[in-house]
Amino acid sequence: NPKETADNLKKSGAFVPGIRPGEQTAKYIDKIMGRLTLVGAFYITLVCLLPEFLILKFNTPFYFGGTSLLIIVVVTMDFMTQVQSHLMSHQYEGLLKKANFKGGASAR
């Protein structure tokens, strides 16, 4: 919600450089969100339709459609993020053991 975001920015004392706080910020955020949504929609359409056009034009066997390819990429990216988070948590676990820190227990 651009209006709510603009109000939150105004209350916290933050602002967008060159844009007046309040209604002008809300209009600016709405305009930027519209542009991003449009660009994202064109990109997703291109990713989904490009394999279909290539299959039709070059008559090549391609076993994944555009939508399937998009799902595979998103799932792979999510999996990689989860693996990185898991590895980072193990690094912090080792650090806490070295510091002899026991979380949740009060020192006696």
Q: What is the pLDDT of residues 53-103, one digit of tens each?
A: 888 888 877 777 777 878 888 999 999 999 999 888 877 777 777 777 655
Q: How far from the centroid of its chain's Cα atoms is residue 38's Cα?
A: 16
Residue 108 is predicted with a pLDDT of 47
Structural domain includes residue 105 = no
- CA 37-43-47 angle, to 5 degrees, is 145
d(CA 34, CA 36): 6
Kindly state whether residues 11 and 40 are assigned to the same domain.
yes
What does pLDDT average to over the chain? 85
Kindly state whether residues 3 and 35 are assigned to the same domain.
yes
Structural domain includes residue 57 = yes
Q: Which two tokens stand for residue 5?
A: 């975001």
Residue 50 is predicted with a pLDDT of 83
* Count of beta carbons in the 10 Å neighbourhood of residue 25: 21
Give the domain range for residue 89.
63-100
C-beta separation of 35 from 28 below 8 A = no
Structural domain count of the chain: 2
Residue 16 is predicted with a pLDDT of 93
Average pLDDT (17-23) is 94
Rg, C-alpha atoms of the chain: 24
Structural domain includes residue 107 = no
Structural domain includes residue 106 = no
24 pLDDT higher than 90: yes
Structural domain includes residue 29 = yes
